[in-house]
Amino acid sequence: MSQELTLQQRLEALAGPDPLRRAVNEAVAALAQASIEISDLTCRGALAGITGQARGRNTDGDVQKDLDVRADDIIRAALGRLPIAVLASEEMADLDILNANAPISVAFDPLDGSSNINTNMSVGTIFSIMPTPSDASAAFTQPGSAQLAAGFVVYGPQTSLVLTLGQGVDIFTLDRDSREYKLTGSTVQIPPNATEFAINASNRRHWDLPVRAYIDECLMGADGMGGKDFNMRWIGSLVAEAFRILIRGGIFLYPGDARHGYEEGRLRLVYEAHPMAFIIEQAGGGATTGRQRVLDLVPRTLHQRVPLIMGSIKNVQRLEHMHTAPDVALETNAPLFGHRGLFRV
């Protein structure tokens, strides 16, 4: 790994002469440029007029903050100059068809986790690049496995760009002096078995049995069936959780639950779950709804929500097992059957 390799150099090395790959590279480079501008704004915060004030609601009912709107404008301006067939953004109700004959289409969440912006927590941009089918309006009704590239940027203490072009995962760090992304991690591999979980535990009473059983097993730690102590983290910012998992493993869950409107979880398939699943799988991890691989899912609608469970492969497989083998979930959920429970002492 060379500390000096820039994103541009890395993209050129990976693309070769293939015109489709070159179109992907141009889009990635434009997204990276846009993210530097967004990073400048997040760093300056209130000094740049970023207050975290609500500006209304997006099409999905989420509160839009001032930076959501600005980040969306910045990304659309950067991508609008390129040969791109369709743009889809969390902030737009419908597809934006630009040039139906162009080879690629881009979906993005301009500012994920923006409810955190005025608390000075990490937020990010997520993107997914698809090949354009013959009917351009069907660009985002392809399975996640069709993605040509996916990435996300975390605006945290450092600004980091995570990228897959389907050949492993690279991490780039923004060098503020040269205003370029530099390669700081290549062929990232998620540890297969980890002892850290992330879930919004305030929703426990709404979860279904397999999720409750899995988390209870984590909480039982060394005294439970898993036999290992776990640590818990919940940042409430998908990009920050995904970055942590890439660095040190663990499992993240935003499952469906019994709350009205949360039957399919909270996260959106096209511009959150699909790109995250592509990245996590490329780094050797797993991404599932509990019952289905996320990359096999074909979106029915642009803003469709989906349960997302992702991270270290063994942890994800254990959770999938609880979904497909209800006896395991039942047994784990009954404290009497725990390692030190009544029937195991």
- The 3-class SS string of 233-285 reads CCCCCHHHHHHHHHHHCCEEEECCCCCCCCCCCCCEHHHHHHHHHHHHHHCCC
Q: Is 68 an active-site residue?
A: yes
Q: What number of other Cβ atoms are within 10 A of residue 227's Cβ?
A: 11
Residues 62 and 87 sit within 8 Å (Cβ to Cβ): no
Binding pattern for the stretch 188-207 against ligand F6P, x by CB under 6 A and - elsewhere: ------------x-------
Q: Is 241 an active-site residue?
A: no
Q: Which of 21, 70, 76, 266 binds ligand F6P (CB under 6 A)?
A: 266
Q: Which of 26, 68, 72, 112 binds ligand F6P (CB under 6 A)?
A: 112
| Nearer to ligand F6P among residue 244 and residue 266 (C-beta) | 266
Q: Is 52 near ligand F6P (CB under 6 A)?
A: no
- As measured in angstroms, the least distance from the Cβ of 254 to ligand F6P is 6
Binding pattern for the stretch 267-286 against ligand F6P, x by CB under 6 A and - elsewhere: x-------------------
Q: Is 113 near ligand F6P (CB under 6 A)?
A: yes
- As measured in angstroms, the least distance from the Cβ of 67 to ligand F6P is 13
Q: Which of 52, 143, 221, 236 binds ligand F6P (CB under 6 A)?
A: 236
| Nearer to ligand F6P among residue 267 and residue 302 (C-beta) | 267
| Nearer to ligand F6P among residue 103 and residue 236 (C-beta) | 236
Q: Is 112 an active-site residue?
A: yes
Residues 221 and 228 sit within 8 Å (Cβ to Cβ): yes
Residues 286 and 311 sit within 8 Å (Cβ to Cβ): yes
Q: Is 62 an active-site residue?
A: yes
Beta strand 96-97 pairing with 63-65: unpaired
Contact region for ligand F6P (CB under 6 A) — 140-148, 186-194, 221-229, 233-241? 233-241
Q: Is 180 an active-site residue?
A: no
Distance CA(262)–CA(242), nearest Å, equals 21
Q: What angle do CA 257, 263, 265 make, to 5 degrees?
A: 75
Catalytic residue among 7, 11, 87, 111: 111
Sheet holding 308-311, edge to edge: 231-232, 196-198, 251-254, 308-311, 286-288
- As measured in angstroms, the least distance from the Cβ of 257 to ligand F6P is 10
Angle between helices 238-248 and 274-282 (to 10 degrees): 10
Owner of token pair 């293939």: 18
Distance CA(141)–CA(208), nearest Å, equals 28
Contact region for ligand F6P (CB under 6 A) — 22-30, 98-106, 107-115, 130-138? 107-115
Contact region for ligand F6P (CB under 6 A) — 27-35, 93-101, 109-117, 298-306? 109-117
Catalytic residue among 40, 62, 180, 331: 62
Q: Is 83 near ligand F6P (CB under 6 A)?
A: no
Distance CA(336)–CA(131), nearest Å, equals 52
Distance CA(165)–CA(151), nearest Å, equals 9
Contact region for ligand F6P (CB under 6 A) — 94-102, 231-239, 294-302, 324-332? 231-239
Q: Is 135 an active-site residue?
A: no
Which residues are within 8 A (CB) of 336 and not within 5 positions of it... i.e. 6 or more apart? 342, 343
Interacting residue ranges for ligand F6P, rule: CB under 6 A: 112-113, 115, 200, 236-238, 254, 266-267
* Active site (catalytic) residues: 62, 68, 90-91, 109, 111-112, 272
